[in-house]
Structures are given as C-alpha cells and as structure tokens.
Amino acid sequence: MLAIERLRRIEELLKENGSVVISNLSATLDVSEETIRRDLEKIGKTMKIKRVRGGAFLPATTDNEVPIKIRETIYLEEKQLIGAKCVELLEDGMSVMLDSSTTAWYVAKNIEQSQKKITVITNSLLIASEFSESKNVKVISVGGVLRKSTNSFVGYMATDALEKLSADLAFVSCTALTKGFGATDNHEGEARIRKTMLNQSIKKVMIVDYTKFDTPAVNPICKIRDLDLVVTDREVGKEMRMVFEDQDVEVLVCK
Amino acid sequence: MLAIERLRRIEELLKENGSVVISNLSATLDVSEETIRRDLEKIGKTMKIKRVRGGAFLPATTDNEVPIKIRETIYLEEKQLIGAKCVELLEDGMSVMLDSSTTAWYVAKNIEQSQKKITVITNSLLIASEFSESKNVKVISVGGVLRKSTNSFVGYMATDALEKLSADLAFVSCTALTKGFGATDNHEGEARIRKTMLNQSIKKVMIVDYTKFDTPAVNPICKIRDLDLVVTDREVGKEMRMVFEDQDVEVLVCK
DNA sequence: TGAAATTTCTTGCAATCACACGAAAAACCG
DNA sequence: CGGTTTTTCGTGTGATTGCAAGAAATTTCA
C-alpha cells in the first residue's frame, strides 16, 4: 500500500466516522503506530483535525464556521519549511504583518501551531480565517475591497488602515526580486499593500520562494537595500549574493 | 474507545437524562468507577454539574441554557425566510451593509443565490468568505480586531472605516428591541458597528428574529424612530405595533 | 438512638498506554 | 549503486487507568 493511499484512507475514515483510533489504524493498515501518528500530523496540516491522546477527530462543524473550501489549499513541503523558519524569528508578544501570498499563509499556519502569543495584522481573508478559533493569536484585519482571485483586501481602505498600524516584523512576498528593480509585483494594489507593510514594520522580511529572481514585474515594492532579511528556498546565485552583502541584507536559505 | 469519546458520551447522557449513575457508567463504558469519578471531575470544569454521592446531575435547567446549536437549527427555516424577504428589497447596482448576526448571514446567502449585482459592506468574516468566489457581488470588508466568538471585526478601526462608507440599505440585528430603549445589544463593539451601519445608510432595516422584544440589553444601538423598517418572524404585539405606527416605522412579518 | 455493615469516596501507587525522539533498517528512486 | 525518504524499533517520559486501603457518608438493624 502506498503512503499516499494510506493518508487518503485515514482521511476517509475520519470523514466517515468523525474520529479515528491510532491503535485500530495501526492494526488495519498494517503499519506501526508511529507512522499513523506522523500521518495524522501531515493530515493536520491540510485539514482541521483535533488530535487527542490515542487518536484524532474532526471538530463538530457548526454553521458559524468559515467554509472549508477557503481553508483547503494545496500543501507544499518547501513552503511549509519557509513558514517554519520564519516563525523562529517570532517571540511571545510580538506583532507581525502578513500579506496575502500563499507563503505568508504558511507562516500563519506555523504561528498557529507554535502556540506563540502573537498579534497578526493581515489583508488576507484566508489568514484571518485561519485564526478564527485561535487562542494564542490576536488578529487585526485591514478592510478594503475583496479581491477574489487571491482572497485579499486591497485598495485605499486597506493601505490607509495599514498606515495607522505598526509591527515588529513584516513577512511579505513578491513576484520578482531583481538587482536593478528590487522587489516588484504584478498587481498594483497588492504591491502598495506590501510596500506599506514593510514601511510600517521594524524588521522587513521578504519571502522569495521558487519564483524566479530575474524577471521583474511592473509595480515596484521596494529596493533591495530597504530590506533587512530575505528568506528563500533556492540557492542564491553568486551575483545576487554579492548584491545582498553589499546592501547589508541578510539571507536565509531554507532547504 | 478514546478517553475524549467517553467524556462526550457522559456529557450526552447527562443532557439526555439530566443525571448519571457512576456504577452504571462504569458497567456500560467498561472502565473502573474511579475513572468515571475522574471524568465527572473533568466535565465539571467545563460545564455546570452537580456532583452527588453515586452520580451527578445537571442543575435545574433554566430554559435559557438550551444549547445554542439546537436553537439555531430550530430557527433555521425562519431565518432563511427572513433572508429571502430582505433580498426582495434589493435591486441591481445597490449597496448594502450587513452586520455579523446569523440572520445577516442568511441575507448574504440569499443575495448570492439571487444573482443580483450588489455591493456588500460587512464586518463579518463569515459573510466576506461567503462571497469569496462570487461573480455578482463586490465585497468591502471593514478591518479591525477579529472577535472570535462571532467571527466579526470590531473596534475603532471597524467603526472608523464604516464612517467613510455609505450604502443604500443596512440590515442590522440586535439583542432586543423595546419600546423604551429602542434597539440594544449585549456587546459594546458590535453595538457601535450596528449603530454606525444604520447611520451611514439611507434605508435602515432592523432584523428581529425569535429574540424577545421585551428584555433590553445594555448597549444602545438606536431609537425606534430612527428605523425605516423592521423585519421579523413573529407576530408583533398590539402595543409594539402602535409604537411602530406612531414613529412611522414600517413592519414586515415573515411567516 | 447507637453501633455495625455497606456503599461510596479519596488517595497513593504501580502497571499500562501513548508519545516523542533518535538511531537503525527498509523501501524507493534516479 | 548511492542517496533520499519512509518506516520501524528502542528508549525515556509523562499521562491514564485500575487496584488497594483507609476515610467518610449512608444504611441497616437491634
């Protein structure tokens, strides 16, 4: 039996019965209990499950919950890694701005799991929803017009609101990060949000995932020298590395 | 059987029969009486139960302790009806403010189904999510601190944002609507949001569902004369009907 | 009523179970 | 075949549970 099949099977059983028992799964699927535990951990990253001693179950779904379709996004290991790394920078009591990129969403997931006491400021509907039942996280959402393709709030309302807030850190993503143009984005509204988030935060962190470094977009976010830290999952070329060093920007590669 | 399942089962039996006997539970759940005693201790921490020698029982159920979930399912149809009625007031191109009440959420559901071209302004995370893939509805969310029990944005950020917006209609709910105090609410933040929504809208609609008319709450929303329309699902008493007529407030009863 | 008998409760303790973690083994993949 | 991923196994730790014994409450019965 394939590992992925086993995962699907467990999910199925969860949805069917509302709960699963580790010892049972271990016996019926013929793998060790440790494996089942690890499986449940993985499942917990994509869907909302409650892990308890001896098993796991789905939380009772009431009308007052955020629809699942919003919750479920494709889960990528590399981004998860970046998310985990970013959360290491956080400590109890800190405030952090998160944009509407998927990577920021991973950071959010990791914040929730870490149990750290954090204030999250975001323009992402997904991220706000993520914390809708959180005990440790205080959420401040900026308002604005809902942009449906990214489930984020944009427009002058959003940037205005951001300008009245400040945070210890900002985790922001971009479409491209190049030597000449700095960080740039495809969408004007999002670019302005990101720019503002960086401006209003003490430590300015740019998250660059597998996205290419070398094809600039039209809307500028900031110059490279404006950043404090770049977190990425791919090896940084010699030239870029030099640029970062010159401009005094720290680089963190997660692999 | 998982420990947590056992706890749930005991709670269930408690709610069903009003009481439980330790020796019975021990036999049926196949654990020692000590374990049951310990379970009851745990349950006592989350809900109010009276422990007596040999068992436990729920203190006399004052009706208002009926689980919220049951209430919601009971009144589901009525609320749906109210929602449908409210949407009849809307036409293509209109803008509408919706608060974070469950009834407003039903209005939202009906707007989405109606396919009318509407702009929705809301402080409800649920309602914003509801339209996250909508084609016909433009969503403007106010920002603010996420209040988790109701999944809504509250605080000065929220009211400030609302004050800069305006709409054709506002659909707003309240905890109580009384002759003397007008519309009142339990939660201060929500009350201010509702008040502001009404202020910023041309047609001011108050939705009053099963909630009693006659038990005022602490935070004022508005006077009865400030309203244009009251939508409700219960027969309106003679006295209240007179009050509405005097103050020139239209009443719509959905049955 | 008062004392013994019975039941239930509390507490400490030991056995068991679930868990996390790291190391080793196995499976998988290019 | 080498390297990576997945799984298992072993160990230490902490939580849960059942047992036993004594305390407290309740019942029985003279």
A contacts of B130 (beta carbons < 8 Å): 67
Of A53, A129, A164, the CB nearest to B3: A53
Q: Contact, A244 vs A236, CB < 8 A?
A: yes
Q: Which helix (H) or strand (E) holds B73?
A: helix B68-87
A33-46 and A3-17 helices cross at what angle (nearest 10)?
A: 70
Of A2-11, A50-59, A69-78, A240-249, the least confident: A69-78
Residue A60 banded pLDDT, cuts 50, 70, 90: low
Measure B146 CA to nearest chain A CA, in Å: 5
The pLDDT score that the predictor gives to residue B67 is 43
Q: Residue B58: which residues within 8 A CB-CB, separation 6 or more?
A: B14, B15, B18, B19, B48, B49, B50
The pLDDT score that the predictor gives to residue B77 is 67
Any strand C atom closer than 7 Å to A132 CB: no
Question: 């944005």: which residue's tokens?
Answer: B153
Of B130, B151, B164, the CB nearest to A64: B151
Q: Contact, B120 vs B192, CB < 8 A?
A: no
**A55 contacts B2? CB cut-off 8 A:** yes
Indicate left, alpha or beta for A166 from its phi (over 0: left) and psi (-120 to 50: alpha): beta
Please report, rounded to whole angstroms, the spatial distance between the CA atom of protein residue A120 and the C1' atom of nucleotide C8: 52
**B144 contacts A144? CB cut-off 8 A:** no
The pLDDT score that the predictor gives to residue A83 is 87
Q: Which residues pair with B253 in a beta bridge?
A: B232
Pairwise pLDDT comparison (A66 vs B167), residue with the higher score:
B167
* Run means of pLDDT, 10 residues per run, chain B, 255 residues: 89 86 92 93 88 84 42 59 92 96 91 94 94 93 93 95 96 90 92 97 90 74 96 85 94 86
pLDDT tens by residue, A20-47: 999 999 998 999 999 999 999 888 887 8
What stretches of B89-154 show up as alpha helix (H) in DSSP?
102-114, 125-130
pLDDT tens by residue, A129-175: 989 888 889 999 999 999 998 999 999 999 999 999 999 999 999 98
The pLDDT score that the predictor gives to residue B64 is 37
What average pLDDT is seen over chain A?
A: 88
The pLDDT score that the predictor gives to residue A227 is 97
Instruction: Read off the pLDDT of each residue in A60-81 and give the average, rounded to a whole number.
Output: 60
Of A106-115, A135-144, A237-246, B117-126, the least confident: A106-115
Quick one: CA dihedral A146, A152, A156, A161, positive or negative? positive
Q: Contact, A49 vs A57, CB < 8 A?
A: yes
**B3 contacts A52? CB cut-off 8 A:** yes
B contacts of A139 (beta carbons < 8 Å): 145-146
Q: Does B130 touch chain A (CB under 8 A)?
A: yes
Q: Contact, B232 vs B254, CB < 8 A?
A: yes
CA A56 to chain centre: 24
Please report, rounded to whole angstroms, the spatial distance between the CA atom of protein residue B39 and the C1' atom of nucleotide C1: 39
How far, in Å, are B166, B247, B249 from residue B179 at the CA level?
A: 28, 11, 13
> Rounded to 5 degrees, what angle do the CA atoms B14, B17, B23 make?
70
The pLDDT score that the predictor gives to residue A213 is 59
Burial label for B84, CB within 10 Å (0-12, 13-18, 19+), is: middle
DSSP class per residue in A145-207: EEETTTTEEESHHHHHHHHT--EEEEEEE-SEEETTTEEEES-HHHHHHHHHHHHTEEEEEEE
The pLDDT score that the predictor gives to residue B47 is 84
- Residues 171-190 of chain A with CB under 8 A from chain B are none
The pLDDT score that the predictor gives to residue B127 is 94
What are the respective helix, strand and coil percentages of chain B, to the nearest 5? Answer: 45, 25, 30
On strand D, nucleotides with any atom < 7 Å from a protein CB are 6-10, 15-20, 25-26
Taking 70 as the threshold, does the pLDDT of residue A62 lie above it? no
Pairwise pLDDT comparison (A235 vs B204), residue with the higher score:
B204
